[in-house]
Structure formats: structure tokens, C-alpha cells
A = this chain, B = another copy of it.
Amino acid sequence: MLNSSHRLNVHYGGAEANVASILANLGHCVHFATKLPDSPLGDAAVRTLHANDVDTSQVLRGGSRIGVYYLESGDSLRYSKIIYDRLNSAIAEMDIGEWDFDKLFDGVTLFHITGITFALSEKWRQYGQKLIQEAFNRNIQISLDINFRPSMWTIGQAKSAISHVLPKISYCCANYLDARNFFDIDPSIARPGNMEICYQKINQRFPNIKALYATNRHVISTSDNSLQGIFWKDGQFIASKSYQLIPIVDRIGGGDAFAAGILHGILQNMNLEKTVDFAIAIALLKHTVKGDWIPISERYVLDWLKTPNGDVKR
């Protein structure tokens, strides 16, 4: 229990950083933009990103502190608990003017952002929209993971910020609740078993959205979940097999891993089935390691897909 711990393991992560790291490990050229304090902890975050092949030349340095969370890792019937401590983080307090958009978006083809960043502060609700507008203006594909966190803001706040950007999005991670809350899909349609129609409807309202995806997680216990990926693209829908994960080492970042896998499939022009299989594989594998992401290559995932049953590789 965190109330009687004498040691903490240290990992670096965050919704967008997780996607960035996985995509870089898969071989993509990924630039990560954030602001980190000019301190050993800021250095450590940069070093970790760089170890994972993420380009950090767009990381601003300065500000007062790095956002932190403490994970009380559960097991069996005891839940995992996250204590956030990200008030006044450098990213939350930065000024959007610290970025030169031309430089920031130079050479970029896809821009990924999540709702968690919008939720950081009142200011960031504007910044998020601004970043998406600037990317959109440059014909960059926009990828949004809605990632709604009720502890950070209300549905009302989120909806008012996100609704402005939805018409500019190309790829969107949204589950049935997001469909209800942010896309105004009727709850009778937006149900877990009915996501093909639901995604169809979203696409009708926002024809710029070319791909929609989510994971279905069934929680038996902290150590035992089943996980399935769903993916809609250009009118077609597919659901992966549902996999049972026992035990779960750390589920934090599982959704980001799936998002990274979907984006990888899209960027590699994989077909729907290969994409969702690849994405759910990374998501599953993420659950077997501590830390927000798993550092594996495309080859590793392809090897895994051949025999996803856990036999020893000698």
C-alpha cells in the first residue's frame, strides 16, 4: 500500500507520450512536443523518450515542475489507485506562444492529441483547439483520443471544448460512452455491442473522420481482464478476438498502446483485420510489463501474432 511504502519504481509516461514511444519503437519518425522543467527529472523524461527513439527536439524546457502520478498497484480483488499530482506542471502552465507553429509542424504528416491535454486547464481547452486548427491548416491528419477523465473535468466542459475540433479530426478513439457524450449518438444506438452502426452514424455527422476505434474491457478483477479491440475505417468494421489477460502486471497505458497500434496500421496501409490484430497485440503485451508503454519492435509483434499462446521462444 502506498501509505506504507519505502520504495517507488519510477516510470515516465502520459497519454500522448505513450503513443509516441510505441510508434517510435515500431520504427516511425516521431517528434514529441511538450514542456518539461529544466531539472534532472525533466532530463530523465527526455532521456527516456530518446531511449525509445522519440525525437525530443520539440520539447520545451523550463517552468516549475513535472506532473507526477503515484500508482498504488492493485492485485486480485484490490483495485489499482492513481493519485495525481500535476498541479502547476510546466506543460499546464506554458504559454502557447512558446511554440512557433511553422517550426512545430514542419514535416509533420499526422498530429495526435488526447482529451487529457485539453483537460489540463482552462487555458489548454483553447490551446488544444488552436493546435488542431494550426495542424489542420497545414493539411496534417489529426488523430484524437477522447480519453475522457471525469476526475479532470465535466462532460459539459469537455463537450464544449471538443465539439469544435471534431470536424477536423481524421482518426478518433471513442467508445460507446464517448459516442453518447460527445457525438450525440442516442444511447439506444451507442451500446457496446452495436459500435459498427454507432461509428457509421458518427462518420455521417463528421465525414472527415476516416477511422474510429476503441477497446472493450471486461474487468473480472484487477489481475484478470478480457480485452477486445474494435476498429471502423472507411465504412468497414472489425472486432478482434477477445483475449483474457491473467495476470495483469500493469494496465495503465493499455488504451494508448491500442491507439498506437491502430495508427501504425493506418500509416502502414495494413488492412482492417491486420490493423486491429496488430493493435490489440500491443495493447495486450502492454499489460504484461510495468510502466506506461512497452518497448517492442514491429518484428516482435509480428512474431507474437504467429503464436499468441505464450510458449517459450528458444
Contacts and interface: CB of A to CB of B under 8 A. Distances in A.
Interface of A: 1-10, 39-41, 43-44, 47-48, 50-53, 64-65, 68, 70, 72, 74-85, 87-88, 149, 151, 219-224, 243-249, 251-252, 284-285, 287-289, 294-297, 304, 307-314
Contacts of A75: 247, 249, 288
A1 B40 CA distance: 8
B313 A79 contact: yes
A246 to B, nearest CB: 6
A53 B51 contact: no
* Copies of this chain held together in the complex: 6
B81 A288 contact: no
A245 B76 contact: yes
B77 A285 contact: yes
A309 B77 CA distance: 6
A219 B40 contact: no
B85 A65 contact: yes
Contacts of A313: 79-82
B252 A287 contact: no
Contact of A51 (B4, B41, B248, B251): B4
Contacts of A221: 244, 246, 309-310
Contacts of A81: 40, 312-313
A244 to B, nearest CB: 8
A74 B39 CA distance: 16
Contacts of A83: 39-41
9 A-B pairs with least C-beta separation: A51-B51, A222-B310, A2-B40, A78-B288, A3-B43, A221-B310, A81-B313, A3-B40, A75-B288
A310 B78 contact: yes
Contacts of A7: 7-10
For A6, A52, A247, the residue with the greatest tally of chain B CB atoms inside 10 Å of its CB is A6
